[in-house]
Structure 1
């Protein structure tokens, strides 16, 4: 049996922080092999026709496949047993899951990094046009950034001091906190010479941050040696941020565009190209650039101050900027001969290998994060805490009787260890990182910029802020899980647009277990197909459709619960495949199921979805995971649902419009079934009331205009439901 300490591919380098002191939780279970195979067959069956499914079942249940899979399963259990002895705070999927990210060679822009957009701060007015405020047109940006950064520093202080309140389910069941060790001071490092994998590097001694403005890099310390924030109030930090902006604005006309080096664009490259550039920098006789890289990579996080504003009617462009950056080309005829300076987009003002806080000129804020070591739930906790803290800090200025987000708030700022010795040799005034470039680096920057511009242009984004109803309405009237309900809506919309069902992925959090990450919920089931088809079937009535909806939601919730308890199928099978590929490919034949078309089918996620709901978020999104797919990030609130859809120029806006109509149509079905005389009832959580006009009950239409819209005007009774 090979060593289980570290896989020979991806690696993780870090020093444990105080989060490591938390109690060890139960290990992620390995399901019984037969149960996993049965679940696999259940998940893939709704996506196949009868002939394909017969072939798949014959393959999966063949003696050859069962023997090889049984051998691999035994090896996996040995692996997990040894791993438990060497590193109790581990899981059988951990290294294989890191490898899935770290062995990935393509650009992580749009392929890996998600984003969160925070709600606007109601206490900060937009000054980007009026110029009203102490920092003129930059006031909104400076104040919003300073407030959020101070809140982040409080979060880091609690994390490093071991006082961060543990994550729980409904305040009772504890969740794994392992991922927080990799939230700050972490960086994705491209492969070194002769290496095939990136590395996830974490520096728990980091005390400084990076600030980017117009692609220029600055750094300064924000924590003392005792991990106490140096800047205890936003006002103390504001001048640093404003001085960085002013330094660039003053020098803008003096500097040649080719001197303004957008070094962050290298993080948008494929890992192979970025590795070559980094190796060139390492071996260069001038160590300046290498020292700069080490400062950036060891920083707590990166602040991206964007020199653009986005209005409320520019939501799609704001999504683009937070997720991958905008690509704005300035074809100045006097500047065409220069390798740099043509690109003006926010894609240059990024460092995608790290956690990034992005703030626009008019104070809109978002988080873009490198996904290897952390999942959405972990970053959502960060976003929730810092948004809440930044808002209630305003209330605390009015009255002291305001509850605190962080325990450190209960301490007097003057007695939190800010002694002279703890702050000796700290750099609190921003220092600029200057780059030394030559023809190789200039040309490499130019090609990196053109390539990421090409990538960005291949995608489109659409946003929906559905305000007709939300979780309260779904739970009280439909009597089902809001998430399960929303997943059915996506199936309706896709079927209405394309007349078929495709592989749909939704992650289930497995943080009930030590080092838990996610398991794959497969949303397409026989129950969901029957429900969706009933909407287009003349033989089905509203009562039957609602019953089928509840059955579909119940099945989705059952699958979700299984996955949350580590009893899914994807991670177990993926670990078996990785174990074979890493250690046993010369000893064992590849199991037939991994060559069956069903394996490729189930791992081609045409609809990749994720629910990351919290009132502090305005939108959330990511790129599609397949070339012909859709990425769907959604937030279910009490009275609204936000959806962001991305694709490589499929019918993104049309698909999102169908999602909206599907939400409305299912509600209409409920109203017609609940009260036959209702045409449209108000969305309340109380019993639906009969509407009267001139003393008479309103008669509903024989079918909904919304559903006719789903099919582009065709009568939905005329559409085949056999697919």
Structure 2
């Protein structure tokens, strides 16, 4: 409590006991006589030994079983992506957060073939007592991007342009929410006032979705995803495949915009830009392959996913026609 009170003196406390006169931080009042303790006080920490009744032991065992069941219902997986990070993203003119949010949407669309409502908190700390506003990251621009990215008929230039538009919209939306111009929290507050009888404490999240935490580092991205009975590991694998693919596209676009005649190889074997002298990145995948040698149009994994989606839609269409007939 001492630490908390040093930050905010008005911090409420459940502990009303006075400080012991034998503690080091106790300040004796003028004329106060503190008697010597009758015996030397034991100050070394020691393990407390508890005597538990049989019914308490049984209750603890049942509680442990129950909490284990709840833990097993949740699948938590981590991805330590080291292909690139904030440095690469900003170098190509993207907002890191918007870039990663679009990656989540593309990975999900590639896995399930649909777009779901997505929530990301935005800090409203510029306001007194401000906490968060909800960024609804799924927008028309982001939907257009994921569909364009997973379309084998789209060129990589079209995919990058769609990504830029989606990231630009996401950045603008984030700024609006941070400035208190969002409507989500306001509408949710009205909903709670109208539905006081419901016990649901928070309406933004769903047990049927994915919970994602991430840290964007200079040279990597750490992602932790959890869900109940969903393809969490496959989602992260999809995410990693997407990140490598968009990296290849951006490098390919950069190479086309910067002709190789403007580069040279120095004495150490490093390729450098003639105008700036800076090293030209040659990114290696985790499997050791040169990413620049893998610059192919389209995205094999996602193309296969789209083929399956289109096949499913075709089957539904045929079945629907046969039923109508």
**TM-score where L is the length of structure 1:** 0.34
43, 46, 53: which one aligns with 1:438: 53
* Matches for 1:74-93 after TM superposition, within 5 Å: none
Change (3 A) 1:491 1:573: same
Aligned twin of 1:498:
112
Structure 1, unmatched stretches of 5+, are 1-16, 18-155, 163-177, 183-200, 209-220, 227-420, 586-601, 606-625, 692-697
Change (3 A) 1:719 1:580: closer
Change (3 A) 1:579 1:660: same
Change (3 A) 1:557 1:575: same
Aligned twin of 1:709:
301
* Matches for 1:297-316 after TM superposition, within 5 Å: none
103, 123, 126: which one aligns with 1:512: 126
> Given the alignment of the two structures, is residue 465 of structure 1 paired with residue 59 of structure 2, yes or no?
no
CA contact under 8 A between 2:141 and 2:162: conserved in structure 1? yes
Quote the Cα distance in structure 2 between the aligned partners of 1:207 and 1:460.
46
Quote the Cα distance in structure 1 between the aligned partners of 2:41 and 2:277.
59
* Matches for 1:664-675 after TM superposition, within 5 Å: 664-675=244-255
645, 657, 670: which one aligns with 2:237: 657
- Give 1:549 shift: 0.9
436, 448, 451: which one aligns with 2:66: 451
Quote the Cα distance in structure 2 between the aligned partners of 1:223 and 1:518.
42
- Give 1:719 shift: 5.5
Aligned twin of 1:546:
160
**What count of residue pairs does the alignment treat as equivalent?**
274
SS across alignment from 1:507:
strand
- Give 1:161 shift: 3.3
Aligned twin of 1:638:
218
CA contact under 8 A between 2:160 and 2:249: conserved in structure 1? yes
Aligned twin of 2:5:
160
CA contact under 8 A between 2:113 and 2:305: conserved in structure 1? no
SS across alignment from 1:675:
helix
Does 1 or 2 have the higher relative contact order (CA < 8 Å, sep 6+)?
2
CA contact under 8 A between 1:207 and 1:223: conserved in structure 2? no
Which digits, 9 at most, give the CA deviation of each residue in 1:248-278, with x for residues without a partner? xxxxxxxxxxxxxxxxxxxxxxxxxxxxxxx
CA contact under 8 A between 1:224 and 1:426: conserved in structure 2? no
CA contact under 8 A between 2:94 and 2:167: conserved in structure 1? yes
SS across alignment from 2:215:
strand
- Give 1:430 shift: 2.0
Aligned twin of 1:533:
147
Quote the Cα distance in structure 2 between the aligned partners of 1:472 and 1:722.
40
- Give 1:436 shift: 4.7
Aligned twin of 1:335:
none
SS across alignment from 1:524:
coil
Quote the Cα distance in structure 1 between the aligned partners of 2:183 and 2:42.
51
SS across alignment from 2:225:
strand
* Matches for 1:3-22 after TM superposition, within 5 Å: none
Quote the Cα distance in structure 2 between the aligned partners of 1:580 and 1:661.
45
CA contact under 8 A between 1:207 and 1:222: conserved in structure 2? no
SS across alignment from 2:186:
helix
Change (3 A) 1:561 1:446: same
Aligned twin of 1:572:
186
SS across alignment from 1:500:
coil
**TM-score where L is the length of structure 2:** 0.70
Which digits, 9 at most, give the CA deviation of each residue in 1:61-84, with x for residues without a partner? xxxxxxxxxxxxxxxxxxxxxxxx
- Give 1:205 shift: 7.0
Change (3 A) 1:565 1:556: same
- Give 1:604 shift: 6.0
CA contact under 8 A between 1:508 and 1:521: conserved in structure 2? yes
Quote the Cα distance in structure 1 between the aligned partners of 2:243 and 2:102.
10
Quote the Cα distance in structure 1 between the aligned partners of 2:175 and 2:17.
39
Quote the Cα distance in structure 1 between the aligned partners of 2:214 and 2:76.
13
Which digits, 9 at most, give the CA deviation of each residue in 1:692-716, with x for residues without a partner? xxxxxx8765425xx21345xx285
* Matches for 1:37-186 after TM superposition, within 5 Å: 157=3, 160-162=5-7
Change (3 A) 1:426 1:474: farther
CA contact under 8 A between 1:473 and 1:639: conserved in structure 2? yes
Quote the Cα distance in structure 2 between the aligned partners of 1:486 and 1:551.
14
Change (3 A) 1:444 1:720: same
Change (3 A) 1:207 1:637: farther
CA contact under 8 A between 2:110 and 2:306: conserved in structure 1? no
Quote the Cα distance in structure 1 between the aligned partners of 2:311 and 2:102.
16
For the pair shown, the structure with the greater C-alpha radius of gyration is: 2
Aligned alpha-carbon RMSD (Å): 4.1
91, 102, 105: which one aligns with 1:488: 102
- Give 1:647 shift: 1.6
